[in-house]
Amino acid sequence: MAKAASIPIIDISDDQGDHARIAKELVDAAAEHGFVYIRNTGRDISPAQIQQAFNISRTLFRSPLEEKQRCKIERNNQGWSGMHTETLDPKTQRVGDFKEGFNFGAFTNGKATQPIPKSIEPHEADLATFRALCHQLCRKLLLLFGIGLGVEPPGFFTEAHSPDKASGSILRFLYYPPPGATPSAQEADGQAGLEILTQTNGWAAVPVCPSGTEEDPSPPILVNIGDLLSYWTNGLLRSTVHRVTFTGSGTGKSTNAARSVDGESTTDPRYSIVFFCHPTNDTPLTAVPSERVHSFQSGLATANVGNPYAERKVLTAEEHLKMRLQATYLRISRAAKTGVAETNEVDGEESGPKKTKAPSGLNRAARRRIKLIEKQRDLIKQKKGISEGSGERDDEVQKELDKWTELMDGRTSVRMEKKRIRKAKEQARPRTKRGKVLTGRALKEREKQVKKNEKKIVQSGGISATNNQS
């Protein structure tokens, strides 16, 4: 059974508190774990409001199928997504694929801007309020990220997430049926619920009620840094792979093992609520004006293992989201073809080790890297005698693959660093005004001139820029 993840719990409720310290704690936790708990004292979102949202979610998923189908998810990422039951193959079905979701886009004046099931129409205004509260809390956290990262101005992220402009932000309700009702419960080993992949490549459980929060008015709110903040900070803030598992005793019968993860159950359906906070559509995902992010970027060539976001062209938030959604649709349509259901994710993390198609929109090197990894996954499986489409011994395969990937990325980093040095040297070569590289006599002349200038500076004791132009 996966042990509990050690995710820090941060209390942001004290408005008079030491913001710099809280911001630092938040940034450190996000950089190390990619997940953070925010202690919920009810100040930002009250326990009653959370309870009410879960009640509405239950009502929604219990609605007649035709009602939900009427609101089917559109290319704008809003609406209902059903379980992929029609295409199931119990042998290859992966954990976490059995779920229904409902994505809410923007509300205007308390009204949804998309079809919603009749059963929840009376709660439309409450939903609008709840979504707005989630957004507000995210902006509060984004300000702390700005402070903690030394971004100038600190409101850089907050400004980019104005609730008054169009964005891809989504409030998502999720419903996972009782574990016993899914074939994957027969294969899974562990407890129900969310798990993250730790830096040592093991799965760790994310309890709903981590220890230390027993006395709180409500369990903490879990924050996932996700793909975008990671992208935006050159990988400084971590995007962590996570998945939702169902429990199983290995015999297919549900057990009470999940009780060991506070708040999760092996016998009941599971409901979760996620708010995906996106910058407004026109936000360019340019370098964050922060020394810390910047110096992290410079260290990437040697320190970071092949972050595909390190070299990139500037995208807007909308382009980035479209790219991610496109990858999601590719996965869904492939699932329909192969019979292997995959989850509907747009926050940049897979919900379990699985084959990833290189999404178009990533740069060529990143796409090539993903292709190489997938080729290697097939090789590892072949070596172990596991058939291609099967999810058998996925964790073991993933571990081996991660080691290989790290090695490959290490080699790539060294190559890139050499290339960078070569390029820098090339750029540093003396040139004419028109950019032609100086050689022979002209070069000697220039060097003589430079030496003369340097001498002058030393003699005058002043500092001045040497004139490199000819």
Amino acid at 66: E
By CB under 6 A, is residue 264 in contact with ligand AKG? no
For residues 269 and 175, the answer to whether their CB atoms sit within 8 Å is yes
CA 127 to chain centre: 25
Q: Report what 106 binds from ligand AKG, Fe ion, none; CB cut-off 5-8 Å by kind.
A: none
**Minimum distance from residue 317 beta carbon to Fe ion (Å):** 18
Please tell me the distance from the alpha carbon of residue 401 to that of residue 469, in angstroms, as a whole number: 51
By CB under 6 A, is residue 242 in contact with ligand AKG? yes
By CB under 6 A, is residue 272 in contact with ligand AKG? yes
* Angle of CA points 35, 39, 45, to nearest 5°: 105
Residue nearest to Fe ion (CB): 347
CB atoms < 10 A from the CB of 267, how many?
A: 14
**Interface residue with ligand AKG, options 9, 209, 274, 332 (CB under 6 A):** 274
Residue nearest to ligand AKG (CB): 272
Q: Applying CB under 5 A, which part among 177-185, 295-303, 342-350, 443-451 lies near Fe ion?
A: 342-350
**Minimum distance from residue 303 beta carbon to ligand AKG (Å):** 28
- CA 398, 4, 34, 340 dihedral sign is positive
Q: What is the DSSP letter of 208?
A: S
What is the token pair recorded at 414?
């060294």
For ligand AKG, the closer CB: 242 or 369: 242
Burial level of 82, CB count in 10 A (0-12/13-18/19+)? middle
Instruction: Quote the radius of gyration of the chain (alpha carbons, Å).
Output: 26
Q: Report what 225 binds from Fe ion, ligand AKG, none; CB cut-off 5-8 Å by kind.
A: none
By CB under 5 A, is residue 347 in contact with Fe ion? yes
| 178-197 residues near ligand AKG, rule: CB under 6 A | 194
**Minimum distance from residue 272 beta carbon to Fe ion (Å):** 10
Q: Report what 350 binds from ligand AKG, Fe ion, none; CB cut-off 5-8 Å by kind.
A: none
Query: Residues 6 or more apart from 426 whose CB is under 8 A from it?
Result: none
By CB under 5 A, is residue 227 in contact with Fe ion? no
Q: Report what 167 binds from Fe ion, ligand AKG, none; CB cut-off 5-8 Å by kind.
A: none
3-state helix vs strand vs coil in the chain, percent to 5: 45, 15, 45
| 279-338 residues near ligand AKG, rule: CB under 6 A | none
Amino acid at 306: G
For residue 176, what are the CA distances in angstroms to 196, 271, 428, 468? Answer: 18, 6, 59, 67
| 194-213 residues near ligand AKG, rule: CB under 6 A | 194
By CB under 6 A, is residue 342 in contact with ligand AKG? no
* Residues in contact with ligand AKG by the rule CB under 6 A: 172, 174, 194, 242, 244, 272, 274, 345, 347
* Residues in contact with Fe ion by the rule CB under 5 A: 347
